[in-house]
Structure 1
Amino acid sequence: MQNFWFSAALLPEGWAKSVRVAVDGAGLIAAITADAPAQPDDSRHGVLLPGMGNLHSHAFQRGMAGLAEVRGDSTDSFWTWRDTMYRFVDRLDPDALAAIAALAYIEMLEAGFTRVGEFHYLHHDLTGAPYAARGAMAAALAAAADESGIALTLLPVFYATADFGGVPANPAQRRFINSLDSYAALHDASRTGIAGLDDSRIGIAPHSLRAVTPEQLRALLPLAAPVHIHIAEQQREVDACLAWSGARPVEWLLANAPVDADWCLVHATHITPAERIGLIASGAVAGLCPVTEANLGDGIFPARDFVAEGGRWGIGSDSNVAIDMAEELRTLEYGQRLLHQSRNLLGGAHASTGAGLFAGALAGGQQALHGTGFTVGAPADFVTLAADHPAFVGRDGDSLFDALVFSGRRDLIDGVWRRGRQVVAAGRHVARDSVTARYLAVMRKVLAG
């Protein structure tokens, strides 16, 4: 049994002072006691926050961060960025994926994320054929999660078509493509590949309405939950969906699929008020990735009204061009400020905007990833703040979140524990040196290829 003492802790019921937490030998929370004096053998810390869920990641894209920031001959957009991504994936094998994902995952932990939803679509070898071990790429992700210590919700992606109406996939997508039967086998192999990880989950991810037919979508749903899907990220996607079906993407999905609290609609950027109301009523989570959405020029989600009306949402690092929990929350709020020419828009019921942002993302991430909160019986996943950081002077309670989100960087997070094991100390992951060295060696080969 380990015992921790915190000067303050954010518990499900709110802030508490002088909190003792007992963690059993399996890394699960055995007891939480507020207003408790520290005991001689306690590990003593300042402020505890529950670990955050990162609900949308493509880990391999960490390796291409910055490679698409050169203007092309035509207008640059998500679609030209996608061409760069297609060229990059043709250089990756399981070993390269494991090295890139390991670095991405330790950076997530250093940023305060303790669980990641890996939206995993790079399945096959360079020819597009399944690996001899069908789940080889999923196993690479599992190895990265094991090495870093992050909790993994694996979301194997079903990708079958290039556009609405069953347009055949193009050669650049060959490493992603499956039939329903081959996907079922891949999903089984992926489930086996992550079975040895503590607290792992597996769901399904129909890539998008562009990439699956209605019949395929219906056939996929019995396999697992949660269900994550890209949707309405780009205006071109909305226009193509209207031409195909006469309905917008979110409108079509809500009318033709059993969308509920087990679903996460990733991006949902371009939605009408009616679609917004329908999404809220479904209980699904809107998976927002503000830094990537800004980087790709996607657009701005109508978060002000969505939050005010009780919508559920979480944050993801998506393309991993930057991995920073606070920056995702700050970018989300600042986008709304620019759009509406007003301030402090996403705090919800909280007077503190930072506290409201953190609470919304925490709840949405737990729901979308089938994670657990900081409660007795749950894994001991938590973050401690750097109490002596200048940004925190004179702050306590919710004002700590305002400092964390708006006036600091990643150095405001001091320690991170996953299942009771410290994986980040003094802001640095315990395996950073070895993981970085391997990443550098791999990426030199990848980029020289």
Structure 2
Amino acid sequence: MIHARQALLAEGWARDVRLTLADGRIAGIETGAAPQAGDVRVDTLLPALANLHSHAFQRAMAGMAEERQEGRDSFWTWRALMYRFVGRLTPGQVEAIAAQVQLEMLEAGYAAVGEFHYLHHQPDGRPYDDIAEMSRRIFAAAQQSGIGLTHLPVLYSHGGAGRAPLGEGQRRFGNDIERFGVLLEAARAALGALPGDARLGVAPHSLRAVAPEDLAQLVAMQPAGPIHIHAAEQPQEVRDVEAWLGARPVAWLLDNAAVDGRWCLIHATHMTAAESRALAASGAVAGLCPITEANLGDGPFAGPAYVAAGGRFGLGSDSNVLISLTEELRLLEYSQRLRDLGRAVMVAGRGSVGAFLYAAAARGGAQALGRAAGIIAPGRLADLVAVDSTAPALCALPREKLLDGLVFAARDTVVTDVWSAGRHLVREGRHVRRDDILAAFRRAMRELTAD
């Protein structure tokens, strides 16, 4: 049982809210209720967001790619460094890094993660004896951290648009469609070791890395569940795909891939106004990663037209260079303000920007991960976050302004408790297994950087 002084329910704010949890879900809600002995008592309860896009292993290279080289640095020079780095990672290190990433996500207020997982093989490209070895390491990390996991094995068949061969740095990622089918089924079997809220989706990496006929086969392999794909992250990618397929990536997907509500287009940064409207109409989710998109120089998402068209979106930490829920929300809005020279941009019509961003990202992230969450209501997964409204950044605000304060003035340190499908994983701001997970991460980093 949880008792909250106030909570944001599906129908709006309520005081003195008592939640009953059963089998990972919200079984009952009482308002105007007094706390009872044994209740977990919190100040302000919100639906927890899902982090819809993560490459966990990249957390280990945070801060390693911030030195300017001769010439112009870009996403593509960063990618070359990432390829060199990834060749060094062992399965044990990947597990330790992923557990630490998931811990940091939970402490930031996320209850679930979509792991866009393309690090499949040994450094020379040969599969491990268990082709799903690296997926199992992500699962083992999730067992330690308790985070809700939607695992998204990635099909990565080509090194660039036009069926270019894989480069040396991409060998650990590569599968043809037949071998990927074997990997997918092995991952599906291994996922059974996780709690019942765990999900399996698929992720064709991008139209640079997957040919049209393989994309069609992959979708047929996964008739239900999430489908995630990188799309239109960089102008060069848009040009390369258009030169090969005769259409820009978002337009091509909408015309050829039956994109619907189970799809999540990651980034979708460089869309035309017509593409924004069409993506919104499809019911798909735009997976926005503002910190990584700023770090890599991708550019800001075209938010106003997409929001005005009713487009759905969620948030992801992508490269995990900085894991901060409040900063992702803040930077999403601030990137629009910097481009448009205006304020209060990411909301249609009138209203609270913070409340709109938080609620929309909660619903969109849950949809993208195939989780019955995103709102506090009976029958929904108990993905919940408690924050301290007496913190300095929030204490002067009425509850109607609380989400504006959370988005624009607070840090993640206002998070006191987090539940993922009813698992109480963060208490008094700390993950329940913080010390063990952090110690393993530090050991892995010492091994990784020893020479």
Provide TM-score, normalisation by structure 1.
0.97
Q: Look up the match of 1:395.
A: 397
CA 360–350 in structure 1, closer or farther in 2 if over 3 Å, else same = farther
Is 1:336 the counterpart of 2:333? The answer is: no
SS, match of residue 390 in structure 1: coil
Q: Which amino acid aligns with 2:144?
A: E
Q: Which stretch shifts more, 292-301 or 400-409? A: 400-409
Task: Compute the displacement of 1:277 (Å).
Answer: 1.2
Tell me what 1:60 maps to: 57
Q: Residue 354 of structure 1 contacts residue 398 of structure 1 at CA under 8 Å; is this kept in 2?
A: no
Instruction: Tell me how far 1:169 sits from its aligned partner.
Output: 1.0
Deviation at 1:397, TM superposition (A): 2.4
Matched, 1:182 2:184: no
1:267-322 CA-to-partner distances (Å, cap 9, x unmatched) read 01001111111111111111000000000000111112211221111110000000
Give the corresponding residue for 2:298: 298
Report SS of the residue matched to 1:46: strand
Aligned-residue sequence identity (percent) comes to: 51
1:25-36 alignment, distance < 5 Å: 26-36=23-33
Instruction: Kindly indicate whether residue 130 of structure 2 is the aligned counterpart of residue 133 of structure 1.
Output: yes
Q: Which whole-Å CA distance do the structure 2 matches of 1:220 and 1:135 have between them?
A: 17
Q: Corresponding residue for 1:99? A: 96
**Aligned residue in 1 for 2:84:** 87
Give 1:118's aligned amino acid: E
> In 2, Cα distance between the equivalents of 1:234 and 1:44?
46
List aligned pairs for 1:100-115, cutoff 5 A. Answer: 100-115=97-112
Give the conservation status (yes or no) of the 8 Å contact 1:347–1:355.
Answer: no
What letter corresponds to residue 206 of structure 1 in structure 2? P
* Match in the other structure for 2:324: 324
The residue that corresponds to 1:425 in the other structure is 427
Give distance in 1, aligned partners of 2:442 and 2:265: 34
Amino acid at match of 1:396: P
- Letter of the aligned partner of 1:380 in structure 2? A
1:13 corresponds to = 11
Q: Is the Cα contact below 8 Å between 2:112 and 2:420 reproduced in 1? A: no
Q: Closer, same or farther in 2 for the Cα pair 1:388/1:5, shift >3 Å?
A: same
Contact kept, 8 Å, 1:152 with 1:201, in 2: the verdict is yes
Whether contact under 8 Å (1:98, 1:141) holds in the other structure is: yes
Shift of 1:41: 3.7
> Is contact 1:51-1:114 (8 Å) kept?
yes
Query: Within 1, Cα distance between the matches of 2:66 and 2:86?
Result: 17
Distance in 1 (CA, whole Å) between partners of 2:263 and 2:406 is 29
Contact 1:337 1:343 in 2 (8 A): yes
Measured in 2, the distance between the counterparts of 1:315 and 1:83 equals 25
2:210 counterpart residue number: 212
Give how far 1:421 is off. 3.0
Q: Distance in 2 between matches of 1:421 and 1:233?
A: 35
Give secondary structure in 2 for the equivalent of 1:17. Answer: strand
Task: Name the aligned partner's letter for residue 413 of structure 1.
Answer: V
Q: Which runs of 5+ in 2 are unaligned?
A: none
**Is residue 304–residue 347 contact of structure 2 (8 Å, CA) maintained in 1?**
no
Where does 1:263-282 land on structure 2 (aligned, <5 Å)? 263-282=263-282
Distance 1:320 1:307 in 2: 26
Local SS of the residue matching 1:88 = helix
How far off is 1:349 after superposition? 6.0
Aligned 8 A contact 2:382 2:421 in 1 = yes
- 1:200 equivalenced with 2:198 (yes/no): yes
- TM-score by structure 2 length? 0.96
Distance of 1:226 and 1:102 partners within structure 2: 23
Measured against aligned partners, the alpha-carbon deviations of 1:351-403 in whole angstroms (never above 9, x if no partner) come to 21111110110111011101112332333221111232111213232311111
Question: Shift of residue 223 of structure 1?
Answer: 2.0
Higher mean C-alpha displacement, 11-20 vs 316-325: 11-20
State how 1:279-290 maps to structure 2 within 5 Å.
279-290=279-290
Asked if residue 78 in structure 1 is aligned to residue 75 in structure 2, the reply is yes
Tell me, yes or no, if the aligned pair for 1:262 and 1:367 is still in contact at 8 Å.
yes
Does structure 2 retain, via aligned residues, the 8 Å contact 1:269–1:300? yes
SS in structure 2 at match of 1:342: coil
Q: Distance in 1 between matches of 2:37 and 2:175?
A: 58
Aligned counterpart, 1:4: 2
Residue-pair matches, total: 446
* 1:414 CA drift (Å): 1.1
Shift of residue 350, structure 1, vs aligned partner = 6.2
More displaced 10-residue stretch of structure 1: 98-107 or 405-414: 405-414
- Deviation, structure 1 residue 27: 3.2
